[in-house]
Amino acid sequence: MVDLDYEGFWKETLIQMRDFLGEEEFGIWFSDFKFLRAAFDEKAGKGSIIIGVPSAFHRDKVKSRYQTNLNSKIKELSGKEIAVEYEIIGKTAKKEAVQHNSPSKNEDSSAAAVTAETQKAKKKRGKHSQLRDDFVFDRYVIGENNAFATNAAIAISKNPGKAYNPFLIFGGVGLGKTHLMQAIGNQIYDNSENEVIYTTSENFLNEYVQAIQAGKMNNFKNKFRYTDVLLIDDIQFFQTKDRVQEELFHTFNALLDAKKQLVFTCDRPPSELKKLDDRLRSRFEQCLKVDLQPPRYEERCAILRATAESRSAQIPNEVIDLVSKNISSNVRDLISALNTLIAFTELMGKPITLEIAQQQLKSVFYAPRQANLSIENITRVVADYYSLTPNDLKGKKKTQNIVFPRQLAMYIGREMTDYSTTELGQEFGGRDHTTVMHSIEKIKEKLITDPTLESTIDIIKQNIKEFSAKY
């Protein structure tokens, strides 16, 4: 016998779902729902509610994102286990009705209808609001420093949630981590109906705080735990943020259990994120991890040529060579220098020559600091200069022949890169930032009393630039 209150249970469930989700999200997914009928299986002793939905795509999304909440709320209201079933009530209703029929030739028509619905929905999507149009694989120059990472990213974009999941890209500033991550998102978004969320760690934290203050944590959890693809940039900034780490841990687990794709970027390997909760760090450790290194000379040339071509700019080979040899820090600095030259030609109406490039970029070439110059290169050159090994500089030995070069390497690292003292400490064997600060002060004091030290530092810096230009 059918329980006549089932429709009432359903209406109350929708009221509670509206409060739970908010008007905007509720309107997107539930406004077109229609109560069709209720059924009761006397033999099994179970009831069900049959709901009309506008499309198979709509049905599948609701089932994947909200089914658990719907079942829970109906049980709270009725005190019974009541199933929610769906029927398509659009033009393809007869072909796509969700029933327990045996397979038939209608299945082919149903599949075609689903495909048509998917294509229709895809056209409505438009541009992704969080992803940059130019961060695509076609505009990502592949070289020895990033080939493995790029191939893994392409594989993920073709088979999200299954191939190499979760995925973590790490490396310094300006090496293309965000470009590669967003290329994954753009490829998936453009070629499927998967929902893609891209966010920075800062925005994730801000949304978390706002959700707590507004009493809308359910909305926050629902947004991030029920997406198909979650991309989070710069996870190192979650360190020391204990409460948001807890939320990220549960989000990570929920998406991984649901076989949804997770992609993260970080400025260092997860093993060096000492101020992350052990449970969360272990999750990042289980990712497929790829390391982006500064591009080599040949790759820097290729990046400049590709970018110039995309901007329809005529840049002579000798200028490409000049910029590539003098800027070895990262892709961002390379592109910035090229943009300066292109702007000069556009504003002054003059072609770029070697002399003009040297003049326009002299402040860049001779700047004391190059963002994210490889610490590995700095330690290697300093170690070679003092007939030591990089491990000596990063190790625990405190003999004078090692301590001074170690302090000098930290000082030069602070001078030539954008690394903080905390980050430098991590690079030098996990030392505390106060140790780095002490080392820097020691070198500054030595510079006052030893007039030869400045010239030694200049020689080492030049060696570092030359070494980095080769690798």
Query: Scanning the structure block, which residue is given the tokens 């077109």?
Result: 32
**Cα(440)–Cα(406) distance, integer angstroms:** 10
Question: In which residue are the tokens 């000492």 written?
Answer: 274
Answer for the pair 316, 353: CB distance below 8 angstroms, yes or no. Answer: yes
CATH code of domain 6-125: 3.30.300.180
Distance CA 236, CA 74 (A): 41
User: With 0-12 CB in 10 A as exposed, 13-18 as middle and 19+ as buried, what is 263?
Assistant: buried
CA dihedral 181, 184, 189, 190 (to 10 degrees): 130
Phi, then psi, of 338 in degrees rounded to 5: -65, -40
Distance of alpha carbon 241 from alpha carbon 469, whole angstroms: 38
HEC secondary structure over 224-274:
HHCCCEEEEECHHHHCCCHHHHHHHHHHHHHHHHCCCEEEEEECCCHHHCC
Q: What is the pLDDT of residue 24?
A: 65
Q: How far apart are CA 435 and CA 432, in angstroms?
A: 5
CA distance 291 to 30: 43
Report the predicted TM-score, pTM, of the whole model to 2 decimal places. Answer: 0.56
pLDDT of residue 162: 85
DSSP state of 314: -
Distance (Å, whole) CA 464 – CA 432: 25
Architecture of the domain made up of 137-292: 3-Layer(aba) Sandwich (3.40)
Q: Which CATH superfamily is domain 375-470 in?
A: DnaA protein, C-terminal DNA-binding domain (1.10.1750.10)
Do domains 137-292 and 297-365 share one topology? The answer is: no
Return the pLDDT at 21: 77
pLDDT per residue, tens digit, the chain (471 aa), is 444 578 888 888 888 888 887 776 777 778 778 888 888 777 767 788 899 887 776 787 788 778 888 888 888 887 778 888 888 875 344 333 333 333 344 444 444 444 444 444 444 567 888 999 989 998 888 877 788 899 999 999 999 998 789 999 998 777 889 999 999 999 999 999 899 999 999 999 999 999 999 999 999 999 999 999 999 999 988 988 889 999 999 999 999 999 999 999 998 888 878 888 999 999 999 899 998 887 888 888 888 988 888 888 889 999 999 998 888 767 888 888 999 999 988 888 889 999 999 888 887 776 544 544 678 889 999 999 999 999 999 998 889 899 999 999 999 998 888 788 888 888 898 888 889 999 999 999 998 888 788 888 988 988 888 777 665
Domain at 297-365, CATH class: mainly alpha
**β-strands 288-292, 167-171 pairing:** parallel
Check residue 114 and give its pLDDT.
43
CA distances from 350 to 71, 140, 365, 396 (A): 69, 29, 22, 56
Buried b (16+ CB within 10 A) or exposed e, 65-91: bbeebbeebbeebbeeebebebbbbee
Residue among 165, 140, 361, 384 at smallest CA distance from 263: 165
Q: Are the C-beta atoms of 332 and 174 separated by less than 8 Å?
A: yes
Q: How many other C-beta atoms are found inside a 10 Å radius of the C-beta of residue 277?
A: 17
> What tokens were used for 388?
């030591």
- Domains of the chain, residue spans: 6-125, 137-292, 297-365, 375-470
